[in-house]
Amino acid sequence: MRLSLVEVIPYALPFRDPYVTARGTLTRREMVLLRIRDEDGVEGLGEAVPLSLRGGVTVPEVVRELEALGTEIADDERLSFPARCAITTALLDLTEKREGDDAWHAPVRCNATLTSGPPSEVAKEAERWAADGFGTFKLKVGTGEDAAQIAAVRKALGPEARIRLDANGTWSLEQATEILATVEPLGIELVEQPVETIAEAAELSKRTRIWLAGDEGIVTLEDAEEAIRADSFSVTGVKLSKVGGFELGRDLAGRMRSYVASALDGPVGIAISRRLAE
């Protein structure tokens, strides 16, 4: 598509509180906003949210990728997944604005994410989110005191709350086996990326009745096919900046049971992720 304007804008949004995970701590989320405009003045917005904390591409790398395209914007398999997400989101946004899409979109329920910390503090955070109406909670684990944090959250929320865990692939197989055996009586809905590889997840699935969910380990359709063949992950989280955008995310969700997850996106990323969740 030929465009009259392409703007690549790196920016950051600060967190109210530090975001603590097994992979590190973030105090702000760095992203790249892509703004495009066609010759009729219609604009589209896209967003790239690099997962550099997990070893992916960095914000400067994505900026260089997008700036190198000039005004000839199109999806390209040679680009990184965050860059492709920004491009495809912006093009979709522009197209729908040109076509006057005013469809009503249904509300989407979300989980509250609980960052790691002392068990008593994590429990208080869970109570604050519950007071705001949340009924599903995802607790970041893998930083120590995992079982104690999980028990504190269950005690604070009561038996009806749905609790998910996310280890970001930092547990060893033996750690995961031991921790999940300890917390299984607490009624855990699922654990996201408990171990690093699909092979480890396949073995872990034989040792626990808690559902295992993929995240870092399932990025492409090929990954999903491997997970299904290995009988490892029962479900996967789909983060659009991780998998390359709306279409690729929809393909992945069509192949494997899934839920839409956020990569701590900005407003544009949240909006397009919400569309997929519908």
Supply the pLDDT for residue 1. Answer: 64
Concerning whether 155 is annotated as a catalytic residue, the answer is no
Q: What pLDDT does 81 receive?
A: 97
Mean pLDDT for 221-229 is 97
SS3 of 199, please?
A: helix
Mean pLDDT of 128-141: 97
Q: What percent of the chain has pLDDT over 70?
A: 98
Looking at residue 56, its pLDDT comes to 83
5-99 CATH = 3.30.390.10
Q: Distances in Å between the alpha carbon of 149 and those of 154, 173, 180? A: 9, 20, 13
Active site residue 140: yes
Determine the pLDDT at residue 187. Answer: 98
* pTM as predicted: 0.92
Tell me the residue type at 193: Q
pLDDT tens readout for residues 230-276? 999 999 999 999 999 999 999 999 999 999 999 899 999 999 999 99
What is the C-alpha separation between 3 and 37, in angstroms, rounded? 6
Buried b (16+ CB within 10 A) or exposed e, 108-128: eebbbbbbbbebeebbebbee
Catalytic residue chosen out of the listed positions 124, 138, 206, 239 = 239
Please list the alpha-helical segments (H only) found in 35-170. 59-67, 81-99, 119-131, 146-157
Query: What is the SS3 assignment for 154?
Result: helix
CA distance 239 to 97: 24
Out of 124, 138, 140, 206, which one is annotated catalytic?
Answer: 140
Pick the CATH number of 112-277 from 3.40.50.720, 3.20.20.120, 3.10.129.10, 2.170.190.11: 3.20.20.120
Domain residue limits, the chain: 5-99, 112-277
What number is the average pLDDT over the span 176-180? 98
Q: Could you report how far apart the first and last alpha carbons of the chain are, in Å?
A: 28
DSSP string, 14-34: EEEEEEEETTEEEEEEEEEEE
Question: What is the pLDDT confidence band of residue 278, given thresholds at 50, 70 and 90?
Answer: confident
> Which residue has better confidence, 73 or 191?
191
The mean pLDDT value for 27-36 works out to: 96
